[in-house]
Amino acid sequence: MQIFTTIPGLRTFLADYRHDRSIALVPTMGALHKGHASLIRRAVAEAEITVVSIFVNPLQFAPTEDFSRYPRSLDSDRQLCESLGVAAIFAPSAETLGIGNSEDITAVIPPISLTSGLCGAFRPGHFQGVATIVTRLFNIIAPTIAYFGEKDAQQLAIIRQLVRDLNLAIEIRACATVRETSGLAVSSRNQYLSTAEREKATIIVKSLQLALESFHLGERQREKLLAIVQKNLDRVPEFRCQYLDLVHPQSLQPIEQIETDGLLAIAGSIGQTRLIDNIILRQRRAVIAIDGPAGAGKSTVTRLVAEKLGLTYLDTGAMYRAVTWLVVNSGLDLSAEAAIAELLSLAKIAIIPADSPENATIVKINGQDVTLEIRSPAITAQVSRIAAQKAVRQQLVTLQREMGMSGGIVVEGRDIGTNVFPEAELKIFLTATPEERARRRLKDLEAQGNGGISLAELTQEIEKRDYLDSNRSLAPLRKAADAIEVNSDHLSIAEVTEKIIALYHQGEENQWRSL
């Protein structure tokens, strides 16, 4: 692991990777704890190169706040990053980031609608300070993906908007709040709390938990949900509540009733320490992401799991076929990537999932039903060339996410859990040894009358394909840090399906519903 304090040092280091590898950024103010570690772990699992920035940003502290006493611990931060597999730490000075004289800089001002409520109402200038520094870090590092904690929900919404408004080609990934066993959200500022205060501070999460329970029992009204939380907070008078609000998680505008999802957020102090916490109230059926190497039985199992659970099978393959059909029919050269990106951006693709496993996904392009055409041998022969194009992939991933937003889908691929639906409730990594996959393939080939290849040759072919799939620059096969591995070596298709269904039911019962 390397440590850089200058822009030329870091940029030169990253230049070697830039062409074909994904770069993750985890922006922090140091004093790293379990919460930061979970962001870093995910980054290391999901991208090839992880950079952690450590900068206590003076622009986000008001003169009355704790800038000078904010904890700083570069030595232990360095050790933690190293142990987690970080490639580089970027620890610049204020001068390096060009904010030596903070009066005289180009600032980034997020929309007032996002900064006027919640913490913004009590910390004027805070989010402008955050946005200004995060934009600089984004420009210096140009990461592929950047990781932020849901604990700072307002910051997360502002950064997402910033990336959209400034057309930055950076994917923002949100990570769930990490908590102490007591439930208290882990924070660098928790070290200011005495033992007694730490105990009192758990009233915040306990109150949020009560609201969550009430939400799951069907409560959707602002007034009722806030009253439940307020009444519980009142039990600990040492907690001086600054705000308690129910807002829309993206627009941050107060909501009267939860339609799809709501962000319930609290801030306040205990003693001298300001604490924040929040919870997303969202009821959706799960997204099940099934990744794994070719030949492990993913597509059959995925269809069966969808059917048995009454969920929708999202056929991503049909989407790539649809684009291939569009390109072939428009007469474009298959290698004309820019023209294809333009054509696809202007096209309307409608995917109507099949209502039973026997039926195909209905696909319409610009109103024309192409369900049958996309299965022709001519399209099958070309689809991998189209799927290997970055712009195609990006646009289809956006479409897949839109389709999965309200949940209730099962989807398979190589990077569904790591890239397409990193927030999926259940992630399965379905695998089998190359030998077993070769044995299954040989059986299929022989059944079709196409024997003549040895088991050893097939095994070698499969190993080669695994290597290529794991090392391709676009959508490499990777197991998500929180995926459950299912090895199908000694299991039938039915047994694998049952296993995944059991995991789904277990998840429904337990963790998806609690904090």
**Segment near ligand AMP (CB under 6 A), from 34-42, 75-83, 305-313, 446-454?**
34-42
What is the smallest separation between the CB atom of 75 and ligand AMP, expressed in angstroms?
Answer: 16
CB of 478 to ligand AMP, least distance (A): 22
Find the shortest distance in angstroms from Cβ 28 to ligand AMP: 4
39 binds ligand AMP (CB under 6 A): yes
Single out the residue of 41, 78, 151, 437 in contact with ligand AMP (rule: CB under 6 A): 151
Amino acid at 71: P
- 289: its two tokens: 């992401």
Nearer Cβ to ligand AMP (186/336): 186
205 binds ligand AMP (CB under 6 A): no
Tokens matching residue 358:
């026997």
Closest separation between CB of residue 480 and ligand AMP, Å? 17
Residues 36, 126, 216, 505: which is the catalytic one?
A: 36
Q: Which is nearer to ligand AMP, 46 or 152 (CB)?
A: 152
- Residues within window 371-410 making contact with ligand AMP, judged by CB under 6 A: none
Residue 422 interacting with ligand AMP (CB under 6 A): no
Stretch that binds ligand AMP, among 97-105, 177-185, 202-210, 350-358 (CB under 6 A): 177-185
- What is the spatial distance between Cα 159 and Cα 168, in angstroms, rounded to a whole number? 11
Is residue 186 a contact point for ligand AMP (CB under 6 A)? yes
Taking the mean position of all CA atoms in its chain, how far away is CA 502? 24
Q: How far is residue 313's CA from residue 428's CA, in Å, rounded to a whole number?
A: 15
Sign (positive or negative) of CA dihedral 158, 160, 163, 164: negative
CB-based contact 248:278 (threshold 8 Å): no
Examine residue 144 and tell whether it contacts ligand AMP (CB under 6 A): no
Is residue 148 involved in binding ligand AMP (CB under 6 A)?
A: yes
- Is the separation of the CB atoms in 188 and 70 below 8 Å? yes
Q: Which of 143, 149, 293, 353 binds ligand AMP (CB under 6 A)?
A: 149
Sheet holding 88-90, edge to edge: 2-4, 88-90, 49-54, 23-28, 145-149, 171-175
The amino acid occupying position 458 is L
Q: Which of 315, 416, 314 is nearest to 374 (CA)?
A: 315
User: Is there binding between residue 152 and ligand AMP (CB under 6 A)?
Assistant: yes
- In the set 175, 201, 228, 290, which binds ligand AMP (CB under 6 A)? 175
Q: Per CB under 6 A, which region of 185-193, 196-204, 240-248, 279-287 contacts ligand AMP?
A: 185-193
87-116 binders of ligand AMP (CB under 6 A):
none
- Six token digits for residue 267: 């801030």
The smaller minimum CB distance to ligand AMP, of residues 135 and 177, is found at 177
Query: Whole-number minimum distance, CB 70 to ligand AMP, in Å?
Result: 9
CB 411 within 8 A of CB 288: yes
**Among 22, 35, 44, 314, contact with ligand AMP (rule: CB under 6 A):** 35
Task: For residue 490, indicate whether it is catalytic.
Answer: no
Among 22, 115, 132, 177, binds ligand AMP (CB under 6 A): 177
Pairwise CA distance, residues 247 & 116, whole Å: 12
SS3 73: coil
Residues in the chain: 515
Task: Answer yes or no whether residue 123 interacts with ligand AMP by CB under 6 A.
Answer: no
For residue 505, give every residue at least 6 positions away whose Cβ sits within 8 Å of its Cβ, in sequence order, or none.
Answer: none
| Eight-state DSSP code of residue 420 | I
CB of 69 to ligand AMP, least distance (A): 15
Contact 415, 293 (CB under 8 A): no
Tell me which H or E stretch contains 487.
strand 484-487
The residues annotated as belonging to the active site are: 36
Instruction: List residues binding ligand AMP (CB under 6 A).
Output: 28-29, 35-36, 38-39, 148-149, 151-152, 175, 177-178, 185-188
